[in-house]
């Protein structure tokens, strides 16, 4: 299995692996040993679509060895099967985002009839047990699929469909089946709207409480909380529930009112700043993460600079920045005033420069202090253990590198911080000589 794209895609891939494992097939980490290769694709951006197709083409070179079938699943065939099936002849089987239950049938049909098979849109989502592809001490829990926000730059509603919450009972069973988990990470296109479609109102807080009651779940981290849906009940739960990590991912995407309106984003610069201040006041020390798009159509130099100023005012803990990608079949594609690529990239670079200064300031405050670190393993290049503080989610935020006589993956350690750069911290456990 090769899974591309986001952590939500990863969960889908883990379900496919669960189906395969339940049938008794052997799963291998060595591509050269595989008879069947599944590539779970992303199609959110043109760059992601290009990566997916290049991955198929690269893997096709293994046909001279053990490889017999290539299966392409996920977002790319879900949205583009009409043009993909006749052109990407290197692939034998195509399945969409919700066709997991047809996986083995499609593969067997391809073998039996010796032909390429398209079952996009013919199946259903699976509730099968997952084979985790993360380190065993943390896992993602996808609580919903699809999206109703219809941001003008985004293809997700046209790929994944309307927002669909998963039943709370199902999610609690799934979380309990994951064994001992140091950190459970809740994900969806918009976690804050969990339950509205099923129960008539948001049930995120109730879900968090249910997950918190599970003995096998040590901590819970929240990603992708849309700003306009963060209410007092959620803030109170973050502040008072010891199992909830004091960290919140809030995709803001921009700060300037005119651009936000063009993006079809709810809220304003003033409302965003007020929310961030409210969170910091209610949850002392909370780590706040966000993402921003630079170079949206018609964005002026003044608005780009205003976004940089917003970063200084907001003082977010972690940020990701992306150049606007002009995606066909989105409303923003048709907007006049598209920004040249070199200008977009320059603006992204400028935003990263501003955030780097803020990050350096934030991390310098830890030097000389002792912090709790979740050990993720060993970095052999740096010859140190590596882990994360509460302010860092896996793969997207900075790390803590530390020396210790011994450290076990998935355990938490008290680490005295001795140094910092603009992204990571360095230290040692209190018992390290």
Q: What digits encode the pLDDT tens for the residues 291-347?
A: 999 999 999 999 999 999 999 999 999 999 999 999 999 999 999 999 999 999 999
pLDDT tens column, 199-244: 999 999 999 999 999 999 999 999 999 999 999 999 999 999 999 9
Mean pLDDT across 393-419: 96
Domains 2-118 and 370-429 share a fold: no
Supply the mean pLDDT for the chain.
96
Q: Which helix (H) or strand (E) holds 373?
A: strand 370-379
Give residue limits of the domains in the chain: 2-118, 138-364, 370-429
| Mean pLDDT (whole number) for 70-77 | 97
Q: State yes or no: pLDDT of 433 exceeds 80.
A: no
* Residue 309, number of CB atoms within 10 A of its CB: 12
Mean pLDDT of 65-72: 96
| 3-class SS of residue 293 | strand
Hunting for tokens 């530390």 — which residue is that?
402
pLDDT tens-place string over residues 20-30: 999 999 999 99
CATH fold, domain 370-429, is OB fold (Dihydrolipoamide Acetyltransferase, E2P) (2.40.50)
pLDDT at 103 over 90: yes
Percent of the chain with pLDDT over 70: 100
Question: What's residue 200's pLDDT?
Answer: 96
Region 409-416: mean pLDDT is 96
For the domain covering 2-118, report its CATH number: 3.40.50.12160
Q: Report whether 385 contacts 379 (CB < 8 A).
A: yes
Q: How, if at all, do strands 384-388 and 425-429 pair?
A: unpaired
CA distances from 230 to 1, 162, 188, 353, 426 (A): 36, 20, 15, 29, 34
Q: Give percent of the chain above pLDDT 90.
A: 96
- Single pTM value for the model: 0.95
Q: Which CATH number fits domain 138-364: 3.90.550.10, 3.40.50.10320, 2.40.10.330, 3.80.30.20?
A: 3.80.30.20
Which two structure tokens, joined as six digits, stand for 235?
């803030």
Average of pLDDT values for 274-278? Answer: 98
Average pLDDT over residues 62-70: 95
């Amino acid at each position: 299995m090769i899974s591309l794209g986001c952590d939500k895609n990863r969960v889908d891939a883990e379900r496919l692996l669960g189906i395969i494992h339940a049938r008794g097939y052997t799963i291998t980490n060595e591509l050269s040993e595989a008879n069947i290769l599944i590539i779970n694709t992303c199609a959110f951006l043109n760059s992601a679509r290009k990566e997916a197709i290049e991955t198929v083409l690269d893997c096709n070179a293994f046909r001279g060895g053990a490889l017999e079938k290539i299966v392409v699943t996920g977002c790319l065939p879900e949205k583009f099967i009409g043009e993909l099936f006749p052109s990407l002849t290197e692939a034998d089987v195509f399945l969409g985002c919700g066709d997991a239950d047809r996986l083995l049938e499609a593969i067997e049909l391809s073998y039996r009839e010796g032909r390429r098979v398209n079952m996009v849109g013919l199946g259903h989502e699976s509730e099968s047990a997952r084979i985790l592809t993360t380190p065993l001490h943390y896992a993602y829990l996808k609580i919903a699929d699809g999206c109703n926000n219809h941001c003008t730059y985004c293809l997700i509603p046209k790929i994944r469909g309307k927002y669909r919450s998963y039943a709370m009972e199902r999610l609690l069973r799934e979380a309990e089946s994951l064994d001992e988990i140091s950190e459970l990470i809740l994900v969806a296109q918009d976690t804050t709207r969990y339950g509205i479609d099923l129960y008539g109102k948001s049930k995120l807080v109730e879900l968090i409480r249910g997950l918190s009651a599970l003995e096998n779940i040590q901590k819970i981290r929240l990603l992708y909380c849309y700003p306009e849906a963060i209410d007092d009940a959620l803030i109170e739960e973050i502040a008072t529930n010891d199992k909830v990590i004091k960290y919140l991912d809030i995709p803001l995407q921009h700060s300037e009112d005119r651009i936000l309106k063009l993006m079809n984003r709810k809220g304003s610069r003033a409302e965003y700043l007020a929310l961030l201040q409210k969170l910091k006041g209610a949850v002392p020390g909370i780590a706040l993460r966000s993402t921003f798009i630079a170079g949206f159509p018609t964005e002026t130099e003044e608005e780009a600079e205003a976004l940089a100023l917003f970063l200084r005012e907001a003082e977010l803990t972690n940020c990701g920045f992306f150049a606007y990608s002009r995606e066909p079949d989105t409303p923003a594609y048709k907007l006049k005033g598209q920004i040249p690529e070199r200008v977009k990239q320059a603006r992204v670079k400028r935003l990263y420069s501003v955030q780097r200064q803020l990050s350096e300031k934030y991390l310098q405050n830890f030097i000389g202090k002792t912090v709790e670190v979740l050990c993720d393993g060993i970095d052999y290049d740096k010859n140190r253990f590596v882990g994360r503080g509460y302010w860092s989610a896996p793969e997207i935020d900075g790390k803590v590198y530390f020396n210790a006589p011994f450290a076990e993956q998935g355990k938490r350690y008290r680490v005295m911080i001795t140094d910092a750069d603009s992204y990571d911290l360095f230290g040692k456990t209190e018992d390290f000589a």
